[in-house]
Amino acid sequence: MSIRHALGAAVMVAAALTMTPAFAQKAAAKGAVEAPVDDPIEAPEPEYNPAVEIDLGAFETCMTVYDQWELDDDEKTDTAALETACTEAIKTHTGYERRVALSARAGLRWNNGRKEEAVKDYGTLIYLEPRNIYNYQGRASLYSELKRYDLAHADIMTALKLAPMNAGLHNSMCWMLALEGKELERALTYCNVSVGLTGNTNGFAIDSRGMVYLKMGKYDLALADYERAMSISPRSSHFMYGRGIVLLRLGRTDEGRGLIDRAVAAEPEIAKRYADYGVAP
CA distance 135 to 158: 11
- Residue 141 has a CB neighbour count (10 Å cut-off) of 24
Which domains, ranges and CATH numbers included, belong to the chain? 1-164 (1.25.40.10), 187-281 (1.25.40.10)
Task: Report the 3 state secondary structure along 77-141.
Answer: CCHHHHHHHHHHHHHHCCHHHHHHHHHHHHHHHHHCCCHHHHHHHHHHHHHHCCCCHHHHHHHHH
Cα 107 off chain centre by: 9
**H or E segment to which residue 144 belongs:** helix 133-145
pLDDT for res 112: 86
Size of the chain, expressed as the number of residues it contains: 281
pLDDT for res 234: 95
pTM over 0.85: no
One-letter identity of residue 24 = A
3-state helix, strand, coil in the chain (%, to 5): 75, 0, 25
pLDDT for res 77: 61
CA distance 226 to 241: 9
pLDDT for res 97: 87
pLDDT for res 76: 55
pLDDT for res 58: 80
Residue ranges for the chain with pLDDT beneath 50: 1-8, 10-55, 71
pLDDT for res 205: 96
- Beta carbons of 277 and 241 less than 8 angstroms apart: no
CA distance 27 to 23: 6
- Beta carbons of 124 and 118 less than 8 angstroms apart: no
